[in-house]
Structure 1
C-alpha cells in the first residue's frame, strides 16, 4: 500500500513555508499602512514584529499535522481525529504558549489584535497569489490558529489589566484609609448613593442601611443644608465644570455628634449635557475647625484685654504727666532735678503713645479701621510739626525735610502727625549709626506722597509680606527697635493711610537703603 498523503515538498504547508519572507514583508507593510494605528506606532513598526515569525512557524506545523492526519484517514489506516489529533493539538498548544508570551510582555491589546487580523488577510492573499490550494480543512486550521492566538492574547491582556486595576484599587483603599478619606459615588439619575465605611463613620451611620440622597441631606446641619443643596445644584450645570467643593457640618445620623467635613467632588455629564454621576471624597476637619475657633476666641480675648488695660492705664499716666508739668513750671526744682523730671515726662509720653497704639489696634480689630476726623489743612505744616518734635527727642540723628508743591487737602491732623512720627521713628531705629533720615513731601498726580528714607540693612524679602501686620519687629543687623517696642508702629501708620483712602509701600535694597512711601488722596478722605 502507498504511503499516506502527497509528497511533503508539494503540500500546502511546505509551499506556504517557502513563502515565509513574502508573508512577513506583506504583513509589515499592511501594519505600517494601517490608518487605524497611531502615527507613533506606525513609525515604530509592528508591535508583534518578533512574535509573528514564530507564530507563522506554528501555523505551518499545524497545517502539516492536519495534512498528515487527513492522509491517514483517507488511506483507511486511521480515523480522522480532526482538532483532537495529538500532533495537531500540540501545535495549537504551542500557538497558545506563544500568545501567552507576547501578552505577558505587555503588548497593546488593540494593536496586537489588529496585527493578527492583518496576518490572517496576508496568509489568504499569499495562498491565492501562489496558487497554494487550501481545502476546507486547511482553511479551518489557518483560521483556528490565528483565532487561538487572538483569543488567548486578548484573554491574557484582559486578565493582566484586571489585576492591575485591582491592585490600583487596593492601593487607593490603603491610601484613603491612612489619610482618613471617605469616598462616595452618587448616581444622579437613579438617586442611589454609595458610601464607603469612612463616609458612613463620618456621618454617624452603621454599615447596614442603604443610603440615598434624602438620607444624606438629613445628616447635614440645618443651618448648612440650603448652602450644600445649592452647591450640589450648581455642580449639575455643565457650565460650572462639574466642580463640587464645600465645607459644612454633619450631625451624626445615629450618634448625633456634630462634625465638620470638607467635601470635594466632580459631576459627569452625558452627550446631552445632563448630569449622570458624581464621585468625590470627604474628610473630617472637626479638629481643624475647633482649633480655628479657639484661636479666634483667643485673639478676641487678647484684644478685649488690651483695650481694657489701655483704658485702665490712661488715668494714672495722665496724673503722672500733670505732675511732671506742675514740677517743671511751678516746682522751683534744681537743674539736676529738672533733668530727672524731664526724663519722667519723656517716659510718660512714650507710654502714652504705646497706650494709644494699643487702643488703635483694638479699634481696628473690632471696628474694621482706625477712625479719623479729616478737615481742611496743610500737610506740610502737620508733618513739619511732627518732625520738629522728633528732632527735639532725637538730637543725635539728623532728620532732613524737603517740602514740594502744595500741602493743601483734607487730613486728620492728629492721625497724620502720628503716621509721620511712626514712619520716621522706625527709620531712626533701623538706620546706620551716624546716617541721616530724609523726609520728602511732594505731589503725585492728584495725590500727595510722603517719603521716609534711611540708610541701613535691607529688610529681608520674606519679611516684607508681613511688615505691616501687628506685633512685627523685623531685626536689622542684630539691633532691635529703641522706640515703643511692641511692633505696632508700622501697623498703625498703614491703618491711618488706609483710613485716608491711601496706602503705604516699602522698597528696601542693601545698596539704596529703605524707603517707606505713603500716598494719600488730597481730597478723597474716608468719612469726608
Structure 2
C-alpha cells in the first residue's frame, strides 16, 4: 500500500492532468476546424464545451484507478465508480437534448487529442490503460447516443400525441404521399371526407377518382406544379370530392408541401385536409341572397320611377301655374324636395344594380373643367348645409375628360359624408390639385377617426355607422361612398382614405385626365 503514492505522481494519469489546459485548447481547435461540425461553428464554441472539462477529470480518474487496480489485483471498485460517473455525465448531457451527431463527433475528437497528447509528451500508456481510455470514451459515446435517442423518441411521441389531439379537435385530416412509389397514406379523417373505408388500400389513382370530375384537371395540375423545385413545393387548393362509397359531395381545403432530394426530384408530399362544405354552402347562400336583393331592388327602382316622375311633374306644374297661396306653395315645395330625394335614392339603387351585374357604373366622358364641375356640386351643398362651412381650394388646370354628372355625384357624396361626420363648428375642406397626369380631389373633415376594422369595408355597399355612432343625415342607405368609389373606378381612378384622431379624415379621389372609353 505504501508504494501507491510515488506511482500515482509519475503515472500517465497524473502527467495528463498536468496537460489539461493544452488538451482542452487542442480539442476546441480540432472541433471548430472540423468542416462537419456545423453546429459548433455556428455557435463559435463546441457543443460539449461545458461538459468536457468534467469528463476529462472523470477519465483521468479512471486511468488512475486502472493503474491501482492493476497493481492491487482485483481492487477495481474505484475504476467502476469512475466509469459510472462518466456514464452518468453522458446521460446528463443526453437528457439536455444535445445534438447526437455533434456530441459523438466531439467525443471522438477528445479521444484523438488525448492520444496525440500522450505521444507529444512521451507518455506511455499500458495495455490496461489504453483499454480503459477507449472503453471510457466509448461508454460515454454509447450512453450519450442511447440517452439522446430516448429523449428524442419521447419528444417525438409527445409531439405526435399533441398533433393527434389538435387534428382531431380541428377536424383536420393528415396525408402522406410517396411520390416515388405512388404509395399514399390517409388517416381516418382523410378517409372519412373521401368516403373511403378503413379496409380500402389507397393510392394516387384512388385519390384522383374521388375528385369531382369538374375539378380533377385543376387538382392534378396543382399537384404537378408542386413537384417543381422552383415552386418551393407548395400545394394549396380547394376543390370538391365525391365520396367513393356514400357519393356525398364535399368541399375540402388541402394544404401540403413536397420534399426534394439532392438532385431536385420530388420524393415525398405531406399535408392536411379540412372539410369546408359548411362554409362553402354558407357562401353560396349568401351570394344568392345578395343577387336576389340586387335584382329585387333593381326591379323595384324601375317600378318606382314612373309614379315618382308623375309626382315631380305635378309638383312642378302646381308651382308654376297653380296660383297657390304662400302656405300651399311651401307644401308643394316640400313635395318636390321629397320627390327629388326619392329620385336620387332610386338612382343610387339602380347604380348598385348596374355595378353588380354590369361590372361598373356607366359613364359618358366629355371634355370639361373639373374645377367648374366640383364648384357647382359644392354650391348646391352649401345651400342645403348652411350650418357647416364648406371651403374649396383649387390649384392648376381642371381640364380633362370627365362625365360631369357622375363626377358631381361623386363629389356630392364625398362632401356630404364629410359634413355628416364633421365636428360641430368645424369646416369641411375641399382641395383640387394636379399630380402628373391625374387630378386629385381631397375632402377633409375634423371629426372622430374611422375605426380600423371599418376601413376594410368602407367602400362596400350598405355600409353605415354602427349603433352608437353618428349616422348620415342624407339618404341613409350606406351607398354614398360605394357609388363615389365606383364612379372614380369607372373613370380609371380610385379613392383612398386616411383617418387619424389627431388629423381628422381625408378622402382622396384620383381621376386621370386622359380619355376614358364611355361605359354604358
TM bin, normalised by shorter chain, reads: 0.7 to 0.9
Separation (CA, whole Å) in 2 of partners of 1:470 and 1:269 = 48
1:51 has 2:39 as partner: no
CA gap 1:300/1:122 in 2 versus in 1, 3 angstroms: same
Structure-2 residue corresponding to 1:31 = 27
Q: 1:27 to 1:348 in 2, by over 3 A?
A: same
Cα deviation, 1:220-249, whole Å, max 9, x if unaligned, reads 111111111111111111111111111111
Query: C-alpha distance in 1, partners of 2:470/2:250?
Result: 48
The structure 2 residue matched to 1:186, chosen from 169, 177, 190, is: 177
**What is the Cα deviation at residue 371 of structure 1?**
0.8
State the shift of 1:364 in Å: 0.8
How far the C-alpha of 1:202 sits from its partner, in A, is 2.0
Question: Which runs of structure 2 are paired with 1:313-328 in the superposition (5 Å)?
Answer: 313-328=304-319
Q: Summarize the Cα distance change of 1:99–1:113 in structure 2 as closer, same or farther, 3 Å threshold.
A: farther
CA-CA distance at 1:413 after TM superposition: 3.4
CA distance in 1, matches of 2:429, 2:235: 55
Pairing partner for 2:279 from 268, 278, 288:
288
Q: 1:253-285: per-residue Cα shift (whole Å, max 9, x none)?
A: 222222222212211212221111112222222
* Residue 69 of structure 2: aligned partner: 65
Cα distance in 2 for residues equivalent to 1:277 and 1:302: 49
Shift of 1:506: 4.0
Question: Do the aligned residues in 2 keep the contact of 1:246 with 1:262 (CA within 8 Å)?
Answer: yes
The answer for the alignment partner of 2:260 in structure 1 is 269
Q: 1:140 to 1:504 in 2, by over 3 A?
A: closer
Using a 3 Å threshold, how does the CA distance of structure 1 residues 183 and 453 change in structure 2: closer, same or farther? closer
Give TM-score scaled by structure 1 length: 0.84
Cα distance in 2 for partners of 1:89, 1:113 equals: 30
Distance 1:428 1:314 in 2: 29
Q: 1:41 is paired with a residue of what secondary structure?
A: coil
Q: How far apart, in 1, do the equivalents of 2:506 and 2:479 lie?
A: 18
Contact 1:261 1:283 in 2 (8 A): yes
Distance of 1:31 and 1:438 partners within structure 2: 76
> Aligned ranges for residues 246-257 of structure 1 at < 5 Å?
246-257=237-248
The structure having more radius of gyration, on CA atoms, is 1
Q: Is the 8 A contact 1:32 1:46 kept in 2?
A: no
Which consecutive residues of structure 2, in runs of 5 or more, have no partner in the other structure? none
- Which stretch has the larger CA shift, 176-185 or 378-387? 378-387
**Matches of 1:310 and 1:473, distance apart in 2:** 21
Distance 1:124 1:10, change over 3 A: farther
The answer to whether the Cα contact below 8 Å between 1:23 and 1:122 also exists between their aligned partners in 2 is no
- Counting matched residue pairs gives 507
Whether contact under 8 Å (1:100, 1:156) holds in the other structure is no
Matches within 5 A, 1:123-522: 126=118, 129=121, 132=124, 134-135=126-127, 139-399=130-390, 407-433=398-424, 437=428, 439=430, 441=432, 443-454=434-445, 456-460=447-451, 463-474=454-465, 479-508=470-499, 514-522=505-513
Partner of 1:524: 515
Shift of 1:432: 4.4
Distance 2:503 2:3 in 1: 102
* Greater mean deviation of Cα atoms: 113-122 or 192-201: 113-122
TM norm structure 2? 0.85
2:92 aligns with one of 86, 92, 104: 104
**2:106 aligned residue:** 114
- For 1:128 and 1:416, the matched residues in 2 are separated by 93
Greater Cα offset, 186-195 or 7-16 = 7-16
What is aligned with 2:11? 15
Q: Once the 2 structures are TM-superposed, how far is the Cα of residue 16 of structure 1 from its aligned partner?
A: 3.7
C-alpha displacement at 1:440, in angstroms? 5.2
Secondary structure in structure 2 of the residue aligned to 1:278? strand
Deviations 1:435-491 (A, max 9, x none): 555555555544444444555555455544433222233489954321111121122
SS in 1 for 2:509: strand
Cα distance between partner residues in 2 of 1:421 and 1:167: 64
**Partner SS, residue 301 of structure 1:** helix
Cα distance in 2, alignment partners of residues 122 and 396 from structure 1: 95
- State the Cα distance separating 1:343 from its structure 2 match: 0.8
When the two chains are superposed, the root-mean-square deviation of aligned CA atoms in Å is: 3.5
For residue 92 of structure 1, report the CA deviation from its aligned partner: 4.3
**SS across alignment from 1:49:** helix
